[in-house]
Structure 1
């Protein structure tokens, strides 16, 4: 058999981190990037650095064994679509060349040891391509041997530093005996603070609108908080509470916090100590989880059509093309929903809560479930949205869009937005407007759209039409009466005249 041809639209990024080695494989499809493979192995390369920064043969061996696995998967990908980057440990190791030479032999590709600054900028790019911040954003990535701290806006990193502290090196240094005590934690926090304090005045002066964590530590903390029925925003109070809970276990071997996965356990406490120091020194109020980081940053740099773009538009267009959405109808419902929101702008703060882009997105995507079947299509839409990445939308926005899509027609339950926390009121506003827009555009024609006026007083909506319009359109009148009853059941008043 002849050799298979490599697929032109498939890309691979390998990230030789200080804690784990990762391989990300993605396909460029429908104007977006679709992940088709991820391989991750804990190598803990940084644990092999001695006090003179010489990397042990054992640590190198662990790394080479992992790369042998990765090499098998790279054979099917075009050479020019593969990028391999190495970070802090191989920046620090005095014998990095020994590791690198063998690694390149195994992979058949060049390994790029990138500077801390380039790593920070690339991490920021990965976050910018997968999140939705419109203002300045603080991005933090706690790695195995370094921590990157970046403030950026749109796609540009404005302030970026790579700090010499990480969850593997701090584990070796401050939790060497694997004991969990106040003094171990405090020593690690104090050491991290000393490093962060050098940049804190510059960063606090620059300011930011939202803070995002791009590391496994932040994800692990979020999973613990969800297991404890807390919302998923990190605060210093929550971090200190988790620290106190961890100390009660006395040793890392016994550490068994609900929600903490086994593969994070070893380096969790050292990462937590660094994160507490960052919150204290930079005076961070709240932090969410970023959707991407270094690997995504490298990936988006490799694919030319993604160098700059409206990410949200790219995401929505990708869904519409993949699920064969009727684009005219999606546009019709979207512009009607926006018109309804404009009518009541003074009374309902949809715009000031940054809800308009979310209303537009869910209006354009509400019919993707039709590809499965009509009767329950709203539920199919919600399921698809819930279980598909949505670059450009934060985790909480993604949840809101999926929840609203599932409630945009038929009966829906009073408490269906409770899980959205602070976004539940915005979801309520958006769903009420969307449901009306869907009914008003039910004939799927532009020239039969009614003229209307919508007003709001507190929670009460009043929808008015020209004098005989409802008489002449009995089906529409009946649908709107049913909708009025449906909203009434949930304690929301909708009058139609």
Structure 2
């Protein structure tokens, strides 16, 4: 067999982190990026650093073995589409060149050991390309040997710093005896505060609207909170509660918090201690999980057509293209839904709760499931959206979109959105408006509707048509009457006049 031709639209990023080595492989498709491969190995490179920052042979060997696995997958990717970056441990190690030389032979590719500042800026870029935030955003990434703290806006990092502390180095320093007690935790928190307190005042002066965590620690905490039926927003109170629960286990070996994965267990408590110190020093009120970080930042840097683009629009357009959505109809429903939302915006503050962009997005995507079959297409749409990466939309927004997709037609049940907790009300409003817009657009033609008015009184919606238009359009009248009964089943009032 001849050698296989590398695929020009496939890209690979390898991140030699201090805790794990990661390989991300993505395909540029339909104006977006589709992840087609991820390989992650716990190497714990930082654990091999001694007090003189000399990297042990054992740690280097672990790294080389991992890279030999990665090398196999890189053979099929054009060299120009591969970027390999190394972070804190190889910045610190006095014998980093020895590791790097052999690693480059194994991978047949150059390794860039990036500065802490460049790492912080690239992490921010990864977050900016995968999450949507209109104002200033504080981004924190706790790595194995360094922690990056960035304030940025749009795609630009404004303030960025790489701090010399991480979950692997702090594990070796403050939890070496593997005991879980107040003394160990407090020593780690105190040490982290010394590092953070230098920069915290200037960051607080700049300020931010949203705080996002881009690290495995934040993801692990969210998974623990979900297992305890809490919402996914992090707060200092929740972190201290998890610290207390962790101490109750006595040792790291015994640590078995519901939702905590085995691979995260070892470095979890040191990461938690650093995160508590960050919450305290920056007086962070609440934090969510970012969609991407360093690898995504490197990836988006490699592909020029993705620079400075509306991320949500890119995601929605890519999905519409991939699933052959009728774009005219999608935009027709989106415009009509937005028009209805504008009429009830005083009583339903959709605009303040980011409801309008979600309403528009789901209106444009609601027919994705038609590619599978018509009868249950709303369920197919919901399934596809639920199981697809949606850069630009937060985790909770992603859940709302999937929930509305599933409920935008056919039968409704009482308390249908109860499982969404604090997002249930917004999801109900978006669903009700979308259902009406879909029915009103059923002829799939422009200019077939008369002037209509939607009013709301105590959550009861009234749709008023001019003159006797409904008498002349019995199918539409019948569909709207059916809809009134469906909404009544869910406990919502919808009147058509």
TM-score tier after normalising by the smaller chain length: over 0.9
SS at match of 1:162: strand
Deviations 1:256-303 (A, max 9, x none): 111110000000000000000000110011111111000000000001
Q: Aligned pair 1:52/2:52, yes or no?
A: yes
Provide the residue aligned with 1:120 in structure 2.
120
* Mapping 1:18-57, distance limit 5 Å: 18-57=18-57
Q: 2:149 maps to which residue?
A: 149
Q: Which runs of 5+ in 1 are unaligned?
A: none
C-alpha deviation, 1:412, in angstroms: 1.8
Q: Indicate yes or no: 2:104 matched with 1:104.
A: yes
Could you tell me which residue of structure 2 aligns to residue 417 of structure 1?
417
Q: Does 1:237 align with 2:237?
A: yes
Deviates more, 1:414-423 or 1:146-155: 414-423
Q: Which residue of 2 aligns with 1:338?
A: 338
Q: Does 1:293 align with 2:284?
A: no
Q: Distance in 2 between matches of 1:473 and 1:289?
A: 49
- In 2, Cα distance between the equivalents of 1:221 and 1:450? 52
In 2, Cα distance between the equivalents of 1:379 and 1:237? 38
> Secondary structure of the equivalent of 1:64?
helix
Q: Are 1:223 and 2:223 an aligned pair?
A: yes
Query: What's the CA shift for 1:138?
Result: 0.7
**1:447 counterpart SS class:** coil
**CA offset digits 1:310-352 (Å, max 9, x no partner):** 1101100111011110111001100000000111122210111
Q: Which residue of 2 aligns with 1:12?
A: 12
Deviation at 1:493, TM superposition (A): 1.2
Structure 1 equivalent of residue 399 of structure 2:
399
Aligned-pair CA distance for 1:414? 2.2
**What is the CA–CA distance in structure 2 between the aligned matches of 1:409 and 1:431, rounded to whole Å?**
9
State the partner residue of 2:86: 86
Whether the aligned pair in 2 keeps the contact of 1:53 and 1:92 (CA below 8 Å) is yes
User: How far apart are the structure 2 equivalents of 1:217 and 1:413?
Assistant: 37
What's the CA shift for 1:490?
2.0
Structure 2 distance, partners of 1:18, 1:458, is 55
Secondary structure, aligned partner of 1:126: helix
* Alpha-carbon distance between aligned partners in 2 of 1:450 and 1:442, rounded to the nearest angstrom: 14
CA contact (8 A) 1:403 1:416 kept: no
Distance of 2:450 and 2:327 partners within structure 1: 20
Normalised by the size of structure 2, how large is the TM-score? Answer: 0.99
Q: Which residue of 1 aligns with 2:267?
A: 267
Superposed displacement of residue 420, structure 1: 2.1
What does 1:132-171 align with in structure 2 at a 5 Å threshold? Answer: 132-171=132-171
Rounded Cα–Cα distance in structure 2 between residues aligned with 1:241 and 1:140: 21
- Unpaired stretches in structure 2, ≥5 consecutive residues: none
Distance in 2 (alpha carbons) for counterparts of 1:427 and 1:142: 33
CA distance in structure 2 between the aligned counterparts of 1:385 and 1:195, rounded to whole angstroms: 42
Q: CA deviation at 1:304?
A: 1.1
CA RMSD of aligned residues (A): 0.7
Q: Note the alpha carbon deviations across 1:395-449, whole angstroms, 9 max, x for none.
A: 1111101101100001122222222222211111111100000000001111312
Distance in structure 2 (CA, Å) of the matches to 1:315 and 1:421:
26
Determine the structure 2 residue equivalent to 1:310.
310
Q: CA deviation at 1:473?
A: 0.3
How far 1:495 sits from its partner (Å)?
1.1
Per the normalisation by structure 1, the TM-score is 0.99
Residues 463, 495 of structure 1: 8 Å contact kept = yes
C-alpha separation in 1, matches of 2:450 and 2:40 = 55
Q: Deviations over 1:198-256 (max 9, x none)?
A: 11101111111111110000011111111111111111111111111111111101111
